[in-house]
Amino acid sequence: MDVMGDKATLFETGRFVTPSGQEETRDDETGEAAEEARQRLAAEAGDVEAMSVLGAMLLRRGDLDGAEPHLRAATAEGDRAAANNLGVLLHQRGYADEAAGWWRIAAVAGSAAAAHALGRHHRERGDEPAAEYWLRQSAEQGHVLGAYALADLLEHRGDDAAEQWMRVAAERGHREAAYRLARTLDRRAAREGGAGADNGVGAAGDAAPGASPQEEAEQWYRQAAARGHRRAALHLGAILEKRGELKEAGRWYLTSAKDGEPRAACALGFLLRDAGDEESAAVWWLRAAQDGDGNAANALGALHAERGQTQTAERWYRAAMDAGDINGAYNLGLLCAEQGRIGQAEQWYRRAAYAGHREAANALAILLLQGGDETGAEPWFSKAAEAGSVDAAFNLGILYAKRGEDVAALRWYERAAAAGHTEAALQVGIARLRDGDELAAERHLRCAAGGGSAEAAYRLAAVLDARRPPVSPHELGEPSHEKSECEEWYERAAMQGHRRAQVRVGMLAAARGDVVEAARWYREAAEAGSRNGAFNLGLLLAREGSEPEAAVWWTRAADAGHGRAALRLALVYARRGELAEGQRWADRAVSLGPGEVAERAARLRDALREEMSA
């Protein structure tokens, strides 16, 4: 029992000024001995208060045999503090029922500490109504431990009044109450979807009126952490890290980790790694992993895997599994797959997947699919997708699309897209365009383009481009007009290396009269293998009087199957008088098309043939 007497009564002389529930530590042992001797003389002279104080001093020191006669003597004279402490002594000796009898006497006489002890005794015996009665008596008299114990009892029952008493205990400095109150507020904030405070908050008790549950929770975490509560320091560090206040978060993680909290040591390791200090991170991960933290063991495994130390990595992944972290099995699967140990990878993926690891189920399905077992892969994709794996939902879409089951494929693509999967949003956008639903298509293409998909940016630009009113043509060299939104999306795709977008940006630049910009984008597309880019660059160079260089790019385009480029080359060689070469490129243009080009090329070819035979 963590009670030591009704100190408000025991020490009312003022010589002991520590608050109730805290022990006095004397720096001067000689002074303590002198005080004990003084109290002993007074007790021997029949001073009841001295008997009570002396008994409490001996009880604190663990001298039960010495304390008992003094406490019994003071109790016989009606000292309620002595009755309470006699109960404590008897409880320590193992006489719980006799202890309860003395606590009852003291509690009836008004001892809040005795009421608290009696309430706990009844709760240990399973008599909750009696426990609540005495704990409430203690709490209502201002006893902080009584308030906390009452709150704990009410919380166990699911009684809403628990929070009120937990708050009372927290406000009076009980650190565990402050922590548990913070947890209650934190859970409420999570249910309500509340966001954390944008600004720093002060100490508990300084909350602004109308503070959110999350803001108030932070304040109580801070108070409990300041009093040495290691889990409160961990949670406070997590709140600060999420808010981007990394230095202060690190300080609280360090405080908690030094107090032996492995999760804080693990979190500190991640902070240090993100700051570029891998060696210090490894030290804290090692400390946490040795204390049984599976997440830290996984982090160590990943660190050694990155360094090519696969045996050490595997050892730590196994340690993570031993700590109950199924991520260890998944990471072992990844490690084996990277090494080409497919059979072992499948084994570890299965172990994690059967334990409910959704990404392991997705990885297992991919492995089976790569091995040609589509039938075996599908249920694992489904299991992973139903468990919330966005990648698995997308992969199911691919699987159904491959079979031609477009409706089922679209359903899974939409599910993945709703969870933010960029490529899935692109596929939904393409499907909506195919169905003629341009507005829905635009919405999904915007999501995918915003997520970094170059193809989505290009297709979105094409949708917007088709809506633009006709623009009057600009002569080369004229001042450029302001870029439209569609051109901005074309440019975004072009900067990501999308060749068709690069060609289109070049065309729009040329239409604005910006020859240099147009040539830059045509050249970039052409060098990446775009035949349209090469053809358009050739046109631009020819207009600028650089026909020999234009012919080089037209040749590249024609060799890649561009009919118009082949026709241009035929005309170039015809003008030069190289009739045979002109005829060869005309033949090539006829075969490549399209129809209009093939028709013109055929007339040119026939004319060249007649001239050569004349």
How confident is the model at residue 609, as a pLDDT?
A: 86
Q: Is residue 579 part of a domain?
A: yes
DSSP one-letter string for 346-395:
HHHHHHHHHTT-HHHHHHHHHHHHHTT-HHHHHHHHHHHHHTT-HHHHHH
Q: Is residue 602 part of a domain?
A: yes
Q: Is residue 571 part of a domain?
A: yes
Separation between Cα atoms, residue 340 and residue 279, nearest integer Å = 29
How confident is the model at residue 212, as a pLDDT?
A: 87
Q: Is residue 582 part of a domain?
A: yes
* Helices assigned H by DSSP within 125-261: 128-140, 144-157, 161-171, 175-192, 213-226, 230-242, 246-258
* Closest listed residue to residue 234, CA positions, set 197, 186, 200, 280: 186
Separation between Cα atoms, residue 378 and residue 362, nearest integer Å = 10
CB atoms within 10 A of CB 105: 19
Separation between Cα atoms, residue 283 and residue 204, nearest integer Å = 34
Separation between Cα atoms, residue 535 and residue 501, nearest integer Å = 15
How confident is the model at residue 470, as a pLDDT?
A: 66
- Contact criterion met (CB below 8 Å) for 314 and 284: no
How confident is the model at residue 394, as a pLDDT?
A: 96
Query: How many domains would you assign to the chain?
Result: 1
Domain of residue 581: give its range: 565-613
Number of helices and strands in the chain (H, E): 35, 0
Separation between Cα atoms, residue 316 and residue 298, nearest integer Å = 6
Sign of the four-CA dihedral 403, 406, 408, 410: positive
How confident is the model at residue 482, as a pLDDT?
A: 65
Separation between Cα atoms, residue 106 and residue 96, nearest integer Å = 15
Q: Is residue 597 part of a domain?
A: yes
Q: Is residue 204 part of a domain?
A: no
Q: Is residue 578 part of a domain?
A: yes
Instruction: Please calculate the CA angle 108-112-113 and round it to the nearest 5 degrees.
Output: 110
Q: Is residue 580 part of a domain?
A: yes
* Cα-based torsion angle of the residue sequence 596, 600, 602, 603 in order, rounded to the nearest 10 degrees: 140
For residues 354-390, one letter each, b for 16 or more C-beta atoms within 10 angstroms of the residue's C-beta and e for the rest, the string is eeebbbbbbbbbbbbbeeeeeeebbebbbbbbeeebb
Burial of 548 (0-12, 13-18, 19+ CB in 10 A): exposed
Task: Give the residue ranges of the chain where pLDDT is below 70.
Answer: 1-29, 194-210, 470-482, 614
* Closest listed residue to residue 517, CA positions, set 476, 463, 559: 476
Q: Write out the two tokens for 323.
A: 């700590």
DSSP one-letter string for 531-600:
HHHHHHHHHHHHHTT-HHHHHHHHHHHHHTT-HHHHHHHHHHHHHHT-HHHHHHHHHHHHHH--HHHHHH
Q: Write out the two tokens for 175.
A: 């650190």
DSSP one-letter string for 104-158:
HHHHHTT-HHHHHHHHHHHHHTT-HHHHHHHHHHHHHTT-HHHHHHHHHHHHHHT
Q: pLDDT exceeding 70 applies to what percent of the chain?
A: 90
The Cα-based distances of 261 to 175, 238, 324 in angstroms read 16, 13, 17
**Which tens digits make up the pLDDT trace of 22-79?**
334 445 567 888 898 999 999 999 999 999 999 999 999 999 999 999 999 999 999 9
- Only one residue has tokens 């910006």, namely 514
Question: Model-level pTM?
Answer: 0.70
CB atoms within 10 A of CB 596: 11
